Amino acid sequence: MNVAIVGASGAVGHELIKVLETYPFPIEKVRLFGSQRSAGQTLVFDGREIKIELLRPDDSLFADTDFAFVSAGASVSREYAGVITAGGALMIDNSSAFRMDGDVPLVVPEVNGADAFDAPRHIIANPNCTTIQMVVALKPINDLSPIRRVHVSTYQAASGAGAAAMQELERQHADIAAGKEPTVEKFAHQLAFNVIPHIDVFTDNGYTKEEMKMHLETKKIMHAPHLEVSATCVRVPVMRAHSEAIWVETADNLDLQTVRRAFIEADGVEYVDDPATLTYPMPLHLAGHDPVYVGRLRKDLACDNGISFWCVSDQIRKGAALNAVQIASYILEHRK
C-alpha cells in the first residue's frame, strides 16, 4: 500500500509514523505532507529520511496514494478533501470536519468496523479521542444489554491540544520550580497545578463542543440514537493519556462478574483492576500503549441497572493515530 501522512510534523503525525513503522500493515511507500512551515524538512520513517512535501491544490498529488492519513486540523481537511480523494485515495481524517456528515462513516474498528465500507466520498472519519476510548469500553457492555444512558467526566491530557501544549505544560512546571511566573499561551488558563473544566468552544446549551462530540459521536458509532451521553470534559496537568470516570445504565441489571468477563474478552480492552495491590489504570504509566485500559469496576450505587468504571487510554495513540491505522488495516483484512 502507498500511504500518505498529511500533517506529518504534528503530534499525531509523528505518532502515525511510529505506528506505521511497527503495525503489521503492508507498506510499499510513505509520503509526508505539510504546510509551508514544515515542507522541505525531513522526517525518518523506518530508518529512511523522507522529505515533507507541500500540501497544495493539485488533483494529481495523491494519484498514487491508497490511504491518506490526515491530521492537520478541520479547516485543512475541509479545504483539501477534494484534492486528497481526487485520484481515488481513501482519506482517513482525524479532524472533526466530516464526523457527523451522513455520508461519512465514523469508525472505531472494534465497534463498527464494517461501517468503513460505506464511504461514498472516500472519506472515513476518526472519532474524537475521548469518544474512541469510551466506545471501545462501552461495546462489550452494550452487547450484554443495551445501554440507555452514560454519564462521563474526563481527565484529559495536554496532548489533546497538540505538541506545543504539551511543551507549555512542561515549561509551566519548570518555571514554577524555578520561582518564575509561568506563561499561558495554548490553554485558556494556567494548566500546571490546575484543572480546566473547558475543552474546545462552548455551544448554546452550555456544553462545550468536546462534550457534544461525546454525545453525538457515540450515537453514530454505536448505531444507537437513543443512547444518551452527558459529559463533562476537563483538562488536567497530565502529558498524554486521557482518563474517564464513566457510569452506564443498561436495559437489564448486569452482574459485575458478567461485565468483568466481557471486559476481559473484549477487543481492544485491557482489564486492569486489582484493588488489593493498588492496581488500576493511570495515565502516567500508559502513555505509548495501545489498549483501552479499564478498571475500578463496580455497581452504580445510585442506579439499579447501573455500573461504574474508570478508563484510560493514550490520546495520541488509540485516541488518534492507532485508530486511524486500524481502520485502514480493517479495510484490507475485510474487503471482499
Active site residues: 129, 242
- Determine the Cα–Cα distance for residues 72 and 208; give it in Å rounded to an integer: 21
**Does 180 participate in binding a copy of itself (rule CB under 8 A)?**
no
* The one segment of 79-87, 118-126, 301-309, 323-331 that binds a copy of itself by CB under 8 A: 301-309
Residue with cell 465514523: 106
The Cβ-side half-sphere exposure at 37, using a 13 Å CA radius, reads: 5
**Does 209 participate in binding a copy of itself (rule CB under 8 A)?**
no
Size of the site for a copy of itself (CB under 8 A): 59
**Does 236 participate in binding a copy of itself (rule CB under 8 A)?**
yes
Residue placing its CB nearer to a copy of itself in the complex, 93 or 249: 249
**Does 150 participate in binding a copy of itself (rule CB under 8 A)?**
yes
Q: CA of 171: how far to CAs of 174, 184, 236, 248, 314, in Å?
A: 5, 10, 15, 38, 21
H runs (alpha helix) in the chain = 11-22, 74-85, 109-112, 129-144, 163-177, 209-221, 256-265, 283-286, 322-334
6, 306, 322, 331: which one contacts a copy of itself (CB under 8 A)?
A: 306
CB of 301 to a copy of itself, least distance (A): 4
**Does 174 participate in binding a copy of itself (rule CB under 8 A)?**
yes
- The three cell numbers of residue 178 are 524555578
Residue placing its CB nearer to a copy of itself in the complex, 36 or 301: 301
* The one segment of 55-63, 91-99, 101-109, 240-248 that binds a copy of itself by CB under 8 A: 240-248
- Determine the Cα–Cα distance for residues 291 and 314; give it in Å rounded to an integer: 8
DSSP 8-state secondary structure symbol assigned to residue 321: I
23, 196, 209, 224: which one contacts a copy of itself (CB under 8 A)?
A: 196
In angstroms and rounded to an integer, the radius of gyration of the C-alpha atoms of the chain is: 20
Residue placing its CB nearer to a copy of itself in the complex, 310 or 330: 310
Q: Which of 244, 189, 212 is nearest to 96 (CA)?
A: 212
CB of 113 to a copy of itself, least distance (A): 26
**Does 263 participate in binding a copy of itself (rule CB under 8 A)?**
no
> SS3 for 298?
strand
DSSP 8-state secondary structure symbol assigned to residue 123: E
Residue placing its CB nearer to a copy of itself in the complex, 255 or 267: 255
**Does 198 participate in binding a copy of itself (rule CB under 8 A)?**
yes
* The one segment of 46-54, 80-88, 198-206, 319-327 that binds a copy of itself by CB under 8 A: 198-206
**Does 264 participate in binding a copy of itself (rule CB under 8 A)?**
no
- The three cell numbers of residue 95 are 479532524
Burial of 77 (0-12, 13-18, 19+ CB in 10 A): buried
- Determine the Cα–Cα distance for residues 203 and 227; give it in Å rounded to an integer: 20
Residue with cell 466530516: 98
CB of 209 to a copy of itself, least distance (A): 11
Residue placing its CB nearer to a copy of itself in the complex, 21 or 200: 200
Contacts of 58 (CB under 8 A, 6+ apart): 83
Binding mask 1-20 for a copy of itself (x = CB under 8 A): --------------------
- The three cell numbers of residue 4 are 500518505
Binding mask 214-233 for a copy of itself (x = CB under 8 A): -x------------xxx-x-
Contacts to a copy of itself by CB under 8 A: 149-151, 153, 155, 173-174, 176-178, 188-190, 192-198, 202, 205-207, 215, 228-230, 232, 234, 236-239, 243, 245, 247, 256, 275-276, 278, 280-285, 295-303, 306, 308, 310
